[in-house]
A and B are shown apart, each in its own frame.
Chain A
Amino acid sequence: MSDGDGFFDELVTPDGQPREAYADYFGWFASEDVKRLARKSAEAETFFRRTGITFNVYGQAQADERLIPFDIVPRIISEREWARLSKGIDQRVRAINAFLYDIYHRQEILRAGRIPKELIARNAAFLPQMLGVEPPGCVYTHIVGVDLVRTSADEFFVLEDNARTPSGVSYMLENRETMLHMFPELFSRIKVQQVSDYPTRLRKSLAASAPQAANGTPVVAVLTPGIHNAAYFEHAFLADHMGVELIEGHDCRVVDGRIAMRTTRGYMPIDVVYRRVDDDYLDPLSFNPESILGIPGVMDVYRAGGITIANAPGTGIADDKAIYSYMPDIVEFYTGEKAILKNVPTWRCSEAAALAYVLDNLSELVVKEVHGSGGYGMLVGPAASKRELARFRAKLKARPENYIAQPTLALSTVPILTRAGLAPRHVDLRPFVLVSPDRIDITPGGLTRVALKKGSLVVNSSQGGGTKDTWVLGE
């Protein structure tokens, strides 16, 4: 395996030596029979199918359940690398919460002219209904999944701040369970920090964000759009592992100024709702009146301090792709420090000069929809055909404000197990961060997504990506 393409390989140095974090794993791997490993790999798939870890793919005629492929080679991060990453994530998440509080209150950052006013005012992710609302404990983003990519030994870039409802944490947990099940010997040999207490941490963190109205032990519930949602497995998984109810909108109603769920013994108030329903569908009385997924009246109860909504409505303004390019300023504005994690240079196509540059260099850039997610509707210039480029060019010209562009990053590679042995593939990393009024808690690990196709830079599961277990070394 080589690094000949100029990509940073996390396993080996350009001269073929294993890097420090992988030394022990590499030693183990060298003594393993590749055939046995291939068998294990097939076992993993059966294991996942039986557990029911599947996702539904949007935009496919047959809404069948699919598995996200799992690769058995772990992605390993040293304790030192993790410490630096954590510091950067902590800083960024603090800044995001301060930014959200400001945007929905005095808007100092707009007055200071650091962000153009119209970028907020005309943004669909900005919710005027949230102006002046005090979320319990001033926390907006209780759960964040920051997407990071690595380009060299010391360089990590933030690709996206998922501050709405980041998903994928069940994969982090199940991937580890699968590895423990298949390779127990590895874990006695290598000290890997545990991730399995994430549900407990999540429940604690949510309970710590309960509103004043809560009596006794806060009642937490997970709100799901239902069994047909792509991430339903995860919603059920989290509710189950936290030991809380999994509710749908029609299980709830307003009772005495609180949101209450219909139980076999009558209506019972909920203190904290971890909602996996988008803002737009959250409350038909405040947002999309057509929504049948939400809880009618929840916004009124929220504004009156009767419930904590996690994440708060309107947090999307912080992870909007148009706001993203201002993140270094945002971090500096609220923390007074330079941003530790880098931002990918971004051209806002709404600006004429930027658009001209993007159109001229389309084949070298990645272009994304401002409000898109999941890798849908994006263009990877270097991988696109002439026709695709031409088609995208037309789209860009028609609605430039709908797009941003970024240089194609040299994403680091981590090997996957193929029939021919180990082969490098590009990866990203989504660590999961919990925010409560008194602390920011980062689980050591996260979700590593891997592009299974050779040379591909798109890691999204909906576009043929897989996942890996992510190890952070240390006690």
Chain B
Amino acid sequence: MLGKTAGGLFWMFRYLERAENTTRLIEAGFRIALTRPDSAGDEWASVLDTAGVRPAYDQGRDTLDGPSVIDFLLRDRANGSSVMSSMDAARNNARMVRTALTREVWEAVNESWMTLKDALHRPVREADLPEVLGLIRRQSALVRGAMHGTMLRNDIFDFSRIGTFLERADSTARILDVKYHVLLPSISQIGSSLDNVQWETILRSVAGQRAFRWLNGPDMSPRAIAEFLIRDRRMPRSLVFSISKITGNLAYLQEQYDGGYVSPGQAQALRDRLSESSIDAIFENGLHEFLVDFLAETAGLGSQIENDFRFYQ
């Protein structure tokens, strides 16, 4: 496979994942705005922080309100991470790696792009927002379904999965980091419960509110939420889950290519550290510090993968 193709697959799936994650952030923010109008302003600000686009948003804007933030996150092409920009980038990458995709996957991406281009042609009215967000998630499910149903489990699949999970790990870590102060103050008081709004946004942002309740019953403690999002192996958006997937796919690549790569070991070390750590220790040493380190390590892992498999040179 061409190095460029590996890179194209990696980014195509990163952008698809990003579009979906952004959708969830909007969904969570919108929900809060509807149910707790008082907290809405803060919530939108933290949504922008989580998406990492706050500076871009602030440029040329001095108001921070729902409709503007939603439009910026959904449609604004000046925002490289907006859903529409992500879909553009995903499709451009898909075109570039067209020969590595099955017809089904390519058509699913192309159709999603056409559908969303159409749906996001104009600013989305509040009344239509739930439907449009649902549409975006359905489209991404379509691509994922086509991928799982039709693609060979070879290096093409590995690079696609690595892109997906690197983006996901990054996203979950950022959601936690933006909210870490919410979790922190109460940590010393074991057994204390968080205000509903706060835990709800965190969980909604990763579509995990029901799963969490199933697994943890009524225990809404910060500790349980952090455990769930960092260390729970059953939770498909947790850090350990994402890093485990990356580790697995890198190990397959190592096996197929039989080369001396650096990234597989790096991923494995990161995964081991996550599994061996304890939430108590993480809180003790500082959740924020832990997350900052984690984000730096995944970014480092990303560039090592880029070098190992010759994406660009």
- Which chain A residues have a beta carbon within 8 Å of chain B's beta carbons? 49-52, 226-227, 232, 236-237, 239-240, 245-248, 250-251, 261-266
**B contact residues, total (Cβ < 8 Å):** 24
A262 with B107, Cβ < 8 A, contacts A227-B92, A227-B96, A236-B95 known: no
Q: How far is the CA of A50 from the CA of B92 in the complex (A)?
A: 15
Residue B145 CB within 8 A of the other chain: no
Query: Is the CB–CB distance between B4 and A251 below 8 Å?
Result: yes
Query: Is there contact, CB below 8 Å, between B114 and A264?
Result: no
Contact of B99 among A227, A245, A264 (CB under 8 A): A245
Determine whether the beta carbon of A264 is less than 8 Å from that of B95: no
**Interfacial chain B residues near A265, Cβ < 8 Å:** 257, 259
Q: A240 and B313 in contact (CB under 8 A), knowing A227-B92, A264-B2? A: no
15 residue pairs bridging A and B, Cβ less than 8 Å apart: A49-B114, A50-B107, A50-B110, A51-B103, A52-B95, A227-B92, A227-B95, A240-B98, A247-B2, A262-B3, A263-B2, A263-B3, A264-B2, A264-B257, A265-B257
Q: What number of residue pairs across chains A and B have CB atoms under 8 A from each other?
A: 59
Interface of B: prevailing SS: helix
Q: How far is the CA of A232 from the CA of B95 in the complex (A)?
A: 9
Residues of B within 8 A of A (CB): 1-6, 92, 95-96, 98-99, 103, 106-107, 110-111, 114, 155, 253, 257, 259, 309-310, 313
User: Measured between C-beta atoms, what is the minimum distance from B54 to chain A in Å?
Assistant: 31
- Contact at B99–A262, with CB atoms within 8 Å? no
CA distance A272 to B98 in the complex (A): 21
A239 to B106, CA, bound (A): 15
Across the interface, do A240 and B310 meet the contact criterion of CB distance under 8 Å?
A: no
Q: Which of B106, B110, B111, B309 contacts A264 (CB 8 A)?
A: B309
* Pair B3/A240 contact, Cβ less than 8 Å: no
| C-alpha spacing A262/B155, complex, angstroms | 15
Of B1, B110, B309, the contact of A52 (CB 8 Å cutoff): B110
Whether A246 touches B106, Cβ cut-off 8 Å, given contacts A263-B3, A264-B1, A264-B155, is no
Set A49, A246, A251: member contacting B3, Cβ < 8 A: A251
| Contact of A262 (CB < 8 Å), options: B4, B257, B259 | B4
A49-B114, A52-B107 known; 5 new pairs, CB 8 Å cut-off, are A251-B2, A264-B155, A264-B253, A265-B257, A266-B310
- The interface centre, meaning the residue of B99, B114, B257, B309 with most chain A CB atoms within 10 A of its CB, is B99
**Which partner residue on chain A sits nearest B259 by CB separation?**
A265
Cβ–Cβ < 8 Å partners of A52 in chain B: 95, 106-107, 110
Q: How far is the CA of A232 from the CA of B313 in the complex (A)?
A: 23
Note all chain A residues with C-beta closer than 8 A to B98. 236-237, 240, 246
B310 touches which of A49, A50, A263 (Cβ 8 Å): A263
Least Cβ distance of A13 to chain B in Å?
Answer: 42
Inter-chain contacts of A236 with B (CB < 8 A): 95, 98-99
A239 nearest in chain B by CB position: B99
A399 CB, min distance to chain B CBs, angstroms: 39
Is B99 a contact partner of A240 (Cβ separation < 8 A)?
yes
- Chain A residue numbers with a CB within 8 Å of B92 are 227
Given A51-B107, A52-B110: A264 in contact with B3 (beta carbons within 8 A) = yes
Q: Nearest Cβ in chain A — how far from B153, in angstroms?
A: 16
Q: Report the Cα distance A217→B310, complex, angstroms.
A: 25
Contact of A263 among B1, B96, B103, B110 (CB under 8 A): B1
Please name the residue on chain A nearest to B4 by beta carbon. A251
A121 CB → nearest B CB, Å: 40
A226 to chain B, nearest CB (A): 8
Question: What is the bound-complex CA distance between A132 and B259, given in angstroms?
Answer: 43
From B4, B107, B114, B257, give the contact of A248 (CB < 8 A).
B4
Tell me the bound Cα distance from A51 to B110 in angstroms.
8
Roughly how many angstroms separate A51 CA and B1 CA in the complex, as a whole number? 23
The CA of A310 and the CA of B279, in the complex, are separated in Å by 62
Q: How far is the CB of B256 from chain A (nearest CB, A)?
A: 9
User: With the chains together, A226 CA to B313 CA distance in Å?
Assistant: 17
Closest 4 CB pairs of A and B: A236-B98, A240-B99, A264-B309, A262-B3
Inter-chain contacts of B309 with A (CB < 8 A): 264
Report the bound CA distance from A349 to B34 in whole Å: 75
Name the distance in Å between B207's Cβ and chain A's nearest Cβ.
Answer: 28
| Chain A, residue nearest B159 (CB) | A264
Cβ contacts under 8 Å, A264 to chain B = 1-3, 6, 155, 253, 257, 309-310
Task: Report the separation of the CA atoms of residues A245 and B100 in the bound assembly, to the nearest whole angstrom.
Answer: 9
Which among B2, B110, B114 has the highest number of chain A CB atoms within 10 Å? B2
Q: In the bound complex, what is the Cα–Cα distance between A240 and B110 (angstroms)?
A: 17
- Give the residue name and chain of the A residue nearest to B94 (CB): A52
Indicate whether A262 sits within 8 Å of B110 (C-beta atoms), given known contacts A227-B96, A239-B99, A246-B99.
no
Min Cβ gap B28→A in Å is 32
Q: Is the CB of A262 within 8 A of B313?
A: yes
Which of chain A's residues have a CB closer than 8 A to the CB of B313?
A: 262
Among the interface residues A52, A247, A262, which one has the most CB atoms of the partner chain B within 10 A? A52
For residue A51, which residues in chain B have a CB less than 8 angstroms away from its CB? Answer: 103, 107, 110
Residue of A nearest to B258 (CB): A265
Complexed CA–CA distance, A52 and B309 (Å): 29
CB of B310 within 8 A of CB of A245, answer no
- Chain B residues whose C-beta falls within 8 Å of the C-beta of A245 in the assembled complex: 1-2, 5, 99
Do residues B95 and A261 form an inter-chain contact, with CB atoms below 8 A?
no
Identify the interface centre among B1, B3, B103, B110: most chain A CB within 10 Å of its CB: B3
Chain A: which residue is nearest B109 at the CB level? A52
- In the complex formed, the residue of A with least CB distance to B95 is A227
